[in-house]
A and B are shown apart, each in its own frame.
Chain A
Amino acid sequence: MRGAGSLDETWRRALYAFAAAVLLFALGAVVRPGFVRPDSILAVLTVAVFVGLVAAGQTFVILIGGIDLSVPWVLNAAAILLATSSGGSDARAFSALLLTLGMGAAVGAVNGLGIAFLGVPAVVMTLAMNGIMEGLTLGLSGGMTCASCASYAPPAIQALAHGVFLFLPTALWLWLAVIAIVSFILGATVFGRATYAIGTNLRASELAGLRVRATIIGLYALSGLAAALAGIMLVGFGGQASLGMGEPFLFQSIAAVVIGGASILGGRGHYLGSVAGAICLVALISVLLAMNMAEYGRSIIYGVIILVLLLLYGRESRES
């Protein structure tokens, strides 16, 4: 262990991720000159919001050495719930918003309960929850055949996803707010300190008198909340909900957190790193799309780039 301290190390990794994002934009400029025009950069960043929001939740749980595999169908359920419960009307938009966010947080809290109180490994609990949410979503919507399933997101929500405010897309403003809130929670509160402590050593945290179980439940609830928020933004962006819309976000959110320098084993990482990771991933996909790369090629290069980034700075220190 270096005397310099693990925190500095983590920040350095986050910086690398930002550097990688800049590099990818530069690469995009080479491939297609228009790639680095302000509006197209903003477009890439706006797409990164969705991954970034999910990655916020994933950051919370990865910091305690956990993982949230229930993201795809919590997100999907949230998107459908928002559309169906609002019926596309602004009048019911706010209550639908609260209902949807509440659903996400509640599902996440159930994950946390199973992990903290029943001792189910996080991989198993959240994997099962993903199945449960998939079954419920499909079943209750009759496989998206229900009358209200075709509803559009309320115009207000669509405006939130598409609008512009003070030169920036509103979606980006929302993300900036989430970044500030998440960083504050992790950096300045008792809850955040407990998160890092639990991720470092659960038993020692318990014996130091921290609220270990409550913190775990809270973290998974936040992850569910983040996935629901991403679902809301996504349905606002696309107008309508569809089945399977959450699938790409599982591996992308994990990859974003890890590229951002967090340790998958917990105890180390920052949300700003995950933000950089999300931008990296979306920039990469955009560059590949700009190159007219076929799907298989994108998939391969995507994997290779993640490996290269991991090999550059994601390696575990050698056992001494």
Chain B
Amino acid sequence: MPPRAARRSLLAHAIARNIGLVLVIFLLVFSIFLYGLIYGLTEGRLPGGFELTSTVNNTMPLVLAAMAQTLVVLTRGLDLSVGGVVDLANALGAISLGATPARMALASAFILLAGAGLGLVNGILVAYGRLQPILVTLATLSIYQGLAIRILPQPGGAVPEGYTALLTNPSVPAALLYVVLLGLFWTAFRRSQAGIAIIAIGNDEGAAAANGINPLRAKLLAYTLSGFFAAAAGLFLVATATAGDATTGNGYTLTSIVAVVLGGVSLFGGRGSAIGAMLGAFVTTMIVNILFFAHIDPLYQSFYEGAFLVIAVVLAEGLGRFVRKRR
């Protein structure tokens, strides 16, 4: 049994360990509050079910991209090809999703597998090629984007209504269910052998190997899953847009990094939770919403987003240091 002094600091332990998560929850609550306030002032009523549904729907691609990015960042890598995989899945979705449910399911499964395969390529290059992740994915980003444009040179294609309704129904917050499922997936994954191995190699690859963990296998898995989730993001994107575009996914490389950072996942690997990163994705969307309803000149949008990112990270850093000192 731990001695008394240690037990009293249980809460401090929990907070210190999950400081990133605590902060992103705080940020999310604060941004929702601000959003509600500004929305109320400008629209004369509080945001309701429609706003909730559309917010969640619009954020889903980023939520999935953030999940994809988290898995790689936890291994101490960075996946710049996320945007390329999103593009590719987007393009494939636009040309292959047919009218029948069976065709849609088949095409979706194929696209998800293709995404996993692209992730695996990254993983093989990083693990067996002994190349820096940021460089590998910089190169594969270019390749994947090229492939996406080859598949869908001009925006177009058609996404069946049923597909859109299933993934991003504008009147029912079905996407909330997906978010919850992703959260459950992460919780289970974090407690599985595979999840522990990925976190362990992000902590210290050499030490993990000395403990009998196979770093190559852990990396392959992390990158493969990353490709899978990035492809899922592409499918959600094409469903929301109801038509394909092989370039709209580009932005997800950088925004997924933003979500991961806001979510308290350490860019140095081994620390953080995908749940934090998913909440970080929602914070990002809320900021865009706030700026929109505050009638900020959209030209300045990037300015505020950038400034907010720096402030949030500095705040997290300061708070983390404060909690550490207090203990």
* B149 within 8 Å of A (CB atoms): yes
**How large, as a class, is the contact surface on chain B?**
35 or more
A257 to nearest B CB, angstroms? 10
In the complex, chain A residues 248-289 whose Cβ is within 8 Å of any chain B Cβ: 251, 254-255, 258, 264-265
Contacts of B129 in A (CB 8 A): 310-311, 315
Q: Which of B14-22, B101-109, B236-244, B293-301 contacts A (4 or more CB under 8 A)?
A: B293-301
Contacts of A315 in B (CB 8 A): 129-131
A9 to nearest B CB, angstroms? 15
Q: Are B134 and A264 in contact (CB under 8 A)?
A: yes
Contacts of B145 in A (CB 8 A): 299
* A307 CA to B313 CA, complexed, in Å: 33
In the complex, chain B residues 123-149 whose Cβ is within 8 Å of any chain A Cβ: 125, 129-132, 134-136, 138-147, 149
Query: Given A120-B310, A295-B149, are A300 and B143 neighbors across the interface (CB < 8 Å)?
Result: yes
B306 to nearest A CB, angstroms? 3
* A26 within 8 Å of B (CB atoms): no
Count residues of A near B (Cβ-Cβ below 8 Å): 50
Q: Are A124 and B302 in contact (CB under 8 A)?
A: no
Q: Are A299 and B142 in contact (CB under 8 A)?
A: yes
Closest Cβ neighbor of B81 among chain A residues: A303
Query: Given A121-B261, A299-B149, A315-B129, are A307 and B303 neighbors across the interface (CB < 8 Å)?
Result: no
* A113 CA to B188 CA, complexed, in Å: 40
Q: Are B303 and A303 in contact (CB under 8 A)?
A: no
* B206 within 8 Å of A (CB atoms): yes
* B323 within 8 Å of A (CB atoms): no
Residue of B145, B306, B313 with most chain A CB atoms under a 10 A cut-off: B306
* A139 CA to B304 CA, complexed, in Å: 11
* B46 within 8 Å of A (CB atoms): no
Q: Are A131 and B302 in contact (CB under 8 A)?
A: yes
Q: Are A264 and B314 in contact (CB under 8 A)?
A: no
Q: Which of A138, A297, A306, A310 contacts B299 (CB 8 A)?
A: A138
Chain B proximity mask over A75-103: 1 for CB below 8 Å, otherwise 0? 00000000000000000000000000000
Closest Cβ neighbor of B246 among chain A residues: A296
Query: Given A120-B310, A124-B313, A254-B138, are A304 and B303 neighbors across the interface (CB < 8 Å)?
Result: no
Contacts of B297 in A (CB 8 A): 139
* A114 CA to B310 CA, complexed, in Å: 8
* A59 within 8 Å of B (CB atoms): no
Chain A proximity mask over B181-225: 1 for CB below 8 Å, otherwise 0? 000000000000000000000000110010000000000000000
Contacts of B303 in A (CB 8 A): 131-132, 134-136, 139
Closest Cβ neighbor of B151 among chain A residues: A296
Q: Are A124 and B310 in contact (CB under 8 A)?
A: yes
Contacts of B209 in A (CB 8 A): 319
* A297 CA to B301 CA, complexed, in Å: 34
A86 to nearest B CB, angstroms? 23
Q: Are A138 and B254 in contact (CB under 8 A)?
A: no
Q: Which of B146, B254, B257 contacts A303 (CB 8 A)?
A: B146
* B52 within 8 Å of A (CB atoms): no
Contacts of A301 in B (CB 8 A): 146
In the complex, chain A residues 149-164 whose Cβ is within 8 Å of any chain B Cβ: none
Query: Given A264-B134, A318-B130, are A132 and B306 neighbors across the interface (CB < 8 Å)?
Result: yes
Q: Are B146 and A307 in contact (CB under 8 A)?
A: no
* A46 within 8 Å of B (CB atoms): no
- A-B interface pairs (CB < 8 A), number: 150
Q: Are B138 and A299 in contact (CB under 8 A)?
A: no
* B6 within 8 Å of A (CB atoms): no
* B267 within 8 Å of A (CB atoms): yes
Chain B proximity mask over A110-150: 1 for CB below 8 Å, otherwise 0? 00001000111101110111111111101100110000000
Contacts of A264 in B (CB 8 A): 132, 134-135
* A314 within 8 Å of B (CB atoms): yes
* A302 within 8 Å of B (CB atoms): yes
Residue of B299, B305, B307 with most chain A CB atoms under a 10 A cut-off: B299
Contacts of A143 in B (CB 8 A): 299
B156 to nearest A CB, angstroms? 16
Q: Are A302 and B267 in contact (CB under 8 A)?
A: no
* A8 within 8 Å of B (CB atoms): no
Contacts of A128 in B (CB 8 A): 305-307, 309-310
Q: Are A251 and B142 in contact (CB under 8 A)?
A: yes
Closest Cβ neighbor of B148 among chain A residues: A296
Contacts of B257 in A (CB 8 A): 123-124, 127
Contacts of B125 in A (CB 8 A): 307, 311
Closest Cβ neighbor of B266 among chain A residues: A121
Q: Which of B132, B135, B307, B317 contacts A132 (CB 8 A)?
A: B307
Contacts of A318 in B (CB 8 A): 130
Closest Cβ neighbor of A301 among chain B residues: B146
B110 to nearest A CB, angstroms? 21
* B324 within 8 Å of A (CB atoms): no
Q: Are B149 and A258 in contact (CB under 8 A)?
A: no
* A298 within 8 Å of B (CB atoms): yes
Contacts of B313 in A (CB 8 A): 120-121, 124
Contacts of A314 in B (CB 8 A): 131-132, 135
* B150 within 8 Å of A (CB atoms): yes
Apart from A130-B306, A136-B303, A319-B205, 20 more pairs, CB < 8 Å:
A69-B254, A131-B305, A133-B306, A135-B299, A135-B301, A138-B302, A139-B299, A251-B141, A255-B139, A258-B132, A295-B149, A296-B149, A299-B142, A299-B143, A300-B142, A302-B142, A303-B142, A311-B125, A311-B131, A318-B130
Chain A residues proximal to chain B, CB less than 8 Å: 67, 69, 114, 118-121, 123-125, 127-136, 138-139, 142-143, 251, 254-255, 258, 264-265, 295-304, 306-307, 310-311, 314-319
Closest 7 CB pairs of A and B: A135-B303, A131-B306, A299-B146, A303-B142, A300-B146, A303-B143, A132-B306
- Can you give 5 contacting A-B residue pairs, CB < 8 Å? A69-B254, A118-B314, A142-B299, A314-B135, A319-B209
